[in-house]
Amino acid sequence: MDWKIPLFKIYWDEEDVKMATESIRRGMFWAIGPNIERFENMLAEYTGRKYAVAFNSGTSALHAALLAYGIGEGDEVIVPSFTFIATANAPLFVGARPVFADIEEKTFGLDPEDVRRKITPRTKAIIPVHYGGGACRVEELSEIAREHNLLLIEDAAESLGATVGGKKMGGFGDGAILSFCANKVITTGEGGAAVTDSAETAEKLRLIRSHGRSENTGYFSTTESPDYVTLGYNFRMPDIIAALGIAQLARIEEVIRIRRQKAASLTGKLMSIPGIEVPGVPADLRHVYQMFTVKISQGREKRDALIQYLAGEGIMSKVYFEPAHLSHFYKNTLGYDCQLPVTERLAEQVLSLPMYPALSDDEISYIAEKMVMFFA
């Protein structure tokens, strides 16, 4: 469909073109090149972690992180069901079992009290998700992890640049993963990274992403035959993609400023409409609005009718997320039978509206006008 207002548009400029072009014109090292290390160093500095390891997707980064931390057969990993399916699937990749905990209403993140209830002797890690550019109650979850000697691996795929008390998402756990998929705050089309303060973990991540190959020099720049010291995968990020990441990350603060401005404008126009609850943001949180998600108080039937109405007016909207535990795979194939009342209720109310830096004032007004007309 040719949308008047799509859900997102990629924010790019000539610096993106310049960086990608330079990588192409080099004529060498498109797969493994100097932009990888440069991008990793920038990510580590920006997130406040000692190490960043780039991957070809956020999913690959999460898969590799679980392997690097030694999570495997017989282990349990507590995850939200209100998330992109990769968060739930990652423990299965390594032979562990995802255990779904409920979320709470304010942040759409894991409810610390339900997490406590789900801890068993087999629990090895907690993977909290920072939803839509915000932050879950990560400080409380971090304390729970410390109390029970559990790993805390933040899924910060949607919240690069968000802060709580001035500290960036990805900086609270033992490690964190990031995503640079097309709709994220900064994007390389596809791509991801893992960040950590552990040199040992960072080295394991590098081995896992590149076939378990021990490398002191680039594979394509030496005549020596490398050694393979562990099982690994081809999870590498290409140099051309890292070039885009460098250009995108260099202007992330400007992108965040614009997104916050657009979100404030849209919030102001929607907040007085009966039946809609706009995002609430705690005073100590810097929300980066990777998504702009409202709640439709009357629930699924009204929400789904709104989706169809907006589509008819050329405005795209989308539900983020349908619960993972209710998907065919988890419910029918794996036989999960979970009681997650808050997750299920909120999943019937949420709707993400268009949000991107190029969203114009006229487009914001048009979205608000159509929302008013629908609820009138």
Do residues 131 and 158 touch, judged by C-beta distance below 8 A?
yes
| Tokens, residue 46 | 């920006």
* Domain 14-250, classified CATH 3.40.640.10, yes or no: yes
CATH topology identical between 14-250 and 253-375: no
Q: What is the pLDDT of residue 219?
A: 67
Which string of DSSP letters, residue by residue, matches 161-175? T-EETTEETTSSSSE
pTM, to two decimals: 0.96
- Assess whether the previous peptide bond of 84 is cis (omega < 30° from 0): no
- Rounded Cα distance, 138 and 238, in Å: 32
- Rounded Cα distance, 198 and 64, in Å: 14
3-state DSSP assignment of residue 90? helix
Residue ranges for the chain with pLDDT beneath 50:
none
- Rounded Cα distance, 353 and 367, in Å: 9
Q: What is the pLDDT of residue 258?
A: 98
Which string of DSSP letters, residue by residue, matches 343-363? HHHHHTTEEEEP--TT--HHH
Q: What is the pLDDT of residue 221?
A: 66
- Rounded Cα distance, 321 and 298, in Å: 17
Q: What is the pLDDT of residue 218?
A: 66
b (16+ CB within 10 A) / e for 286-312 = bbbbbbbbbbbeeeeebbeebbebbee
b (16+ CB within 10 A) / e for 108-141 = bbbbbebbeebbeeebbbbbbbbbbbbbbbbebb
- Count, residues in the chain: 376
Do residues 197 and 173 touch, judged by C-beta distance below 8 A?
no
Question: Of 237, 185, 250, which Cα lies nearest the Cα of 53?
Answer: 237
Which helix (H) or strand (E) segment holds residue 213: the answer is strand 213-214
Residue located via tokens 């885009």: 244
Do residues 72 and 311 touch, judged by C-beta distance below 8 A?
no
- Rounded Cα distance, 63 and 56, in Å: 12
DSSP H helices in the chain: 14-26, 34-47, 58-68, 85-93, 112-118, 138-147, 199-209, 239-250, 252-270, 300-312, 328, 341-347, 361-375
- Rounded Cα distance, 354 and 261, in Å: 14
Sheet of strand 163-164: strand arrangement: 167-168, 163-164, 285-286
Query: Which residues sit opposite 277 in a β-bridge?
Result: 295
Indicate the domain borders of the chain: 14-250, 253-375
Q: What is the pLDDT of residue 214?
A: 84
Question: Of 59, 53, 34, which Cα lies nearest the Cα of 198?
Answer: 53
Quote the DSSP letter at residue 220.
Answer: G
One of 3.90.1150.10, 3.20.20.70, 3.30.1330.10, 3.40.50.150 is the CATH number of 253-375, namely 3.90.1150.10
- Rounded Cα distance, 66 and 72, in Å: 8
Q: What is the pLDDT of residue 110?
A: 98
Query: Which residues sit opposite 176 in a β-bridge?
Result: 154, 195
Q: Give residues with Cβ within 8 angstroms of 269, minimum separation 6.
A: 364, 365, 367, 368
Do residues 365 and 321 touch, judged by C-beta distance below 8 A?
no
Q: Give residues with Cβ within 8 angstroms of 362, minimum separation 6.
A: none
Q: Are strands 123-126 and 151-155 parallel, antiparallel or unpaired?
A: parallel
CA dihedral 142, 143, 145, 148 (to 10 degrees): 180
